[in-house]
Structure 1
Amino acid sequence: MTISQPTSDDIRRWRGHLAEERGTTAVLRRLAQHREGEERAILTELADAEERHAEHWVSLLGQHAHPAPRPSLQHRVWTALAGRFGWVFVLALVQRAEADTPYEADQDAARSMAADEAIHEEVLRGLAARGRAQLSGNFRAAVFGANDGLVSNLALVMGMSATGVSAGVVLAAGMAGLLAGALSMGAGEYISVRSARELLAASQPAAHAEQALEDLDVDVNELALVYRARGMAEPEARERAADVLDQTRNGGSVPTGAVPATEADVDEHEAVGSPWGAAISSFCFFASGASIPVLPYLFGLGGVAALATAAVLVGIALLLTGGVVGLLSGASPLRRGLRQLAIGFGAAAATYLLGLAFGAGGIG
């Protein structure tokens, strides 16, 4: 802890932490307003815990805590989304923020605060578990449908364009369509299955959560909230948390299963989704994805200009769909977006090269 007169850098950093804590508190309280029962109670207690962290920075700042720092734009956006958007999406954003806590490297933060943040991440992971499981079935169909439409039609357009104007355009289109369909099906199935698995895997306990148990404040901590978020009743959760911390603090090792896997009652139907829901979702998203590559041609463009415009539009769409997968699974949206972009453009490039081969050969 800093005990000398704080520097301007200290004050700036502490006020930043205070703004982050109060911003997170506002998001959690807004989420709690739109939930009921146990979910509301857990979110409210979690917000109270974040407020406790905020008070730590207020005590260090003293008179420098006023005027109160404004929450970041990110937190203000999240608070707005919490009242209008799917709660799993917002929970995933807050979960990712809790995982990136700066307190482990900050000497002015109590050790228990970094441990608290690790436990808060687990609470949010548990709350999002059921929503992710229910979402994964139809979400898989949506990702597959949109990706298949985007990739196959872009590949078809590029394959036909590469042949040039010739009598072999029908054959080239048929071959390009065959190859585009095969590549798109493979790419779409791979991405959608991976996306569904990542959504479910994101609800499993993180390894560092158990490591944080030894540093928790015994009197005030959120470990019981982890158990409640995973489906355990409140009295049982408090008893389990007390028992785990007692074993940990009396010289023993962290008990196996101290941070449990989800106890949520999610059956196979919920995880996979309904056949009709998957079919309708896939149909609609394929149609929307497939329309994007042909938009330049519908608006009168042709040649290289149309091809380049189609590629840019599809690239943006692939980045967006991949980014959404990353956000919902608690992973890097940029990395997931780039993965989806690489697979989609790889399939289209292969078809383009095939079109060039047929065009150069003068088939037809």
Structure 2
Amino acid sequence: MGRVSTPDPSPQQIRRWQKYLADEIAEAELYQQLARRKTGEERQILLGLAAAEERHQQHWRNLLGTHADQLPSPSFHRVLLGWMAKIFGSVVALALAQRAESDSPYEKDRDATRGMAADEEIHEEVVRALAARGREKLAGGFRAAVFGANDGLVSNFALIMGMAGTGVGASVVLLSGIAGLLAGALSMAAGEFISVRSQRELLDATRPTQVTLRAAPDLDFDHNELVLVYRARGLSEEDAEHRALERLGVLDCDCTPQMSFNPEEVEDEYQAVGSAWTAAGSSFSFFAIGALIPILPYIFGAQGWWAAGVSAGLVSIALLCTGAVVGLLSGAPPLKRALRQLAIGLGAAVITYALGSVLDVTVD
């Protein structure tokens, strides 16, 4: 890549180019680090991304000349990416990298080439696809864990705020919270188990089988329904006839193999759904953890407004954390997701507290 700026850059340009170069070096190191943990196709894709970042580095080195020897630290986002990759692995790191690629400044910077800006747009889609693979593996257990924790936080916090609004004693609020924790955790676990088990049973009922292999030797060559089987699975009439002849041993071909039964595809589909027991266990555990947080002040003897205030503070922090995690892993802005979770949780608590206060006035 050649020069695209003036031969005598300003100090501001030099600082900006140095920052770009430092970030490109950090991104290349991230992809290389992730590639070392992968094999096969994913490894090659990550190494290809690293090579592209190295080409971008060379562009900024050409512009900087001797100024390329003294670089600032990478931006905080890039440092965070490397740290998250070491601790949490590729799923979290790739979700963060997706946002980093989408926020590239090259589109508006005249010192970057159009090719570099286009590269970054493509990189976002590549990273999005890689991150999607990891999200599928987390889908079952992660969904149950996140939903369980959030439901535990919001439902039990709303419950104890409603009870506190009625003016009952702290011991009654605590007992209500414990009852809500146990009932909610068991209900969530049972619901997740039934949901995932039912989904897996539906997949079992709809996936193709290998009955065509078992029945083929005994079929009448001139009158058989193999063609109908393959047409029902989505093949064209011509491909279905070829597949039927292959099963009968007449042809030695491999026509549209993606339409036939593939155990690996079914395994991947089940991986996205997750295990029923894993989902139930995750849902129970994380609902209980989430539901425990609002009642912690009452467990330790706090009462009145002090207990309610501490509970609200703890729940707010937890809601912000869970919302940010969901945002990070989904490639969405973590702050926006965190604030949304907080608004929903506090909104539910305010409503139930108001209803409890009205009930208290009615009783009096």
Shift of residue 75, structure 1, vs aligned partner:
2.2
1:150 maps onto 2:157 in alignment:
no
Q: Which residue of 2 aligns with 1:133?
A: 136
Q: Distance in 2 between matches of 1:315 and 1:296?
A: 14
Q: Which moved more, 1:284-293 or 1:344-353?
A: 344-353
One-letter code aligned to 1:312: G
Contact (CA 8 Å) 2:19, 2:71: kept in 1 or not?
A: no
Percent identity, aligned pairs only, is 59
After superposition, give the CA deviation of every residue in 1:179-210 in whole Å (9 maximum; x if it has no partner). x97xx99xx99xxxxxxxxxxxxxxxxxxxxx
Map residues 106-121 of structure 1 onto 2, 5 A cutoff: 106-121=109-124
Please give the alpha-carbon distance, in whole angstroms, between the structure 2 residues aligned to 1:173 and 1:64: 66
The within-5 A match list for 1:66-85 is: 66-85=69-88
Out of 82, 87, 91, the residue aligned to residue 90 of structure 2 is: 87
The DSSP-based 3-state class of the residue aligned with 1:103 is: coil
Residues 77 and 100 of structure 2 are in contact (CA less than 8 Å); yes or no, is this contact kept in structure 1?
no
1:143 & 1:82 partners in 2: Cα distance? Answer: 21
- Structure 1 residue 67, shift from structure 2 partner: 2.0
- Which runs of structure 2 are paired with 1:190-201 in the superposition (5 Å)? none
Contact 1:99–1:118 (Cα < 8 Å) also in 2:
yes
CA drift at 1:173:
6.0
Letter of the structure 1 residue corresponding to residue 124 of structure 2? E
Q: CA RMSD in A?
A: 2.6
Work out whether residues 151 and 347 of structure 1, in 8 Å CA contact, stay in contact via their aligned partners in 2: yes
Bigger Cα displacement from structure 2, 331-340 vs 65-74: 65-74
Q: 1:36 maps to what in 2?
A: 39
> Once the two structures are superposed, what CA deviation does each residue of 1:78-112 show, in whole Å capped at 9, x if it has no partner?
22322231311100101110011100100010100
The CA distance in 2 between the partners of 1:74 and 1:337, in whole Å, is: 18
Deviation for aligned residue 1:51: 0.9
1:21 partnered with 2:24: yes
Q: Distance in 1 between matches of 2:95 and 2:29?
A: 16
C-alpha separation in 2, matches of 1:41 and 1:268: 24
- Tell me how far apart the structure 2 counterparts of residues 359 and 173 of structure 1 sit (CA, whole Å): 16
Distance (Å, rounded) in 2 between the aligned partners of 1:297 and 1:282: 24
Q: Counterpart of 1:119 in structure 2: which amino acid?
A: I
* Cα distance in 1 for residues equivalent to 2:152 and 2:64: 55
Offset at residue 271 of structure 1 (A): 2.1
Residue 338 of structure 2 is matched in structure 1 by: 337
Q: Is the 8 A contact 1:103 1:114 kept in 2?
A: yes
- Mapping for residues 244-259 of structure 1, pairs under 5 Å: none
Residue 65 of structure 2 aligns with which residue? 62
**Any idea what SS the aligned residue of 1:152 has?**
helix
Task: Tell me, in whole angstroms, the C-alpha distance in 2 between the residues paired with 1:296 and 1:54.
Answer: 53
Per the normalisation by structure 1, the TM-score is 0.71
Larger radius of gyration: 2
Is the Cα contact below 8 Å between 1:159 and 1:173 reproduced in 2? no
- What residue identity is the alignment partner of 2:144? A
Contact conserved, 2:155 with 2:291, CA < 8 A, in 1? yes
**Which residue type is aligned with residue 140 of structure 1?**
R
Is the Cα–Cα contact under 8 Å of residues 34 and 83 in structure 1 kept in the other structure?
A: no
- Post-superposition shift, 1:13? 0.7
CA spacing shift, 1:287–1:268, aligned 2, 3 Å: same
> Quick check: 1:23–1:72 contact (8 Å CA) kept in 2?
no
Answer whether contact 1:320 1:337 (CA < 8 A) is retained. yes
Q: Which residue of 2 aligns with 1:296?
A: 297
Where do 5+ consecutive residues of structure 1 fail to align? 190-263
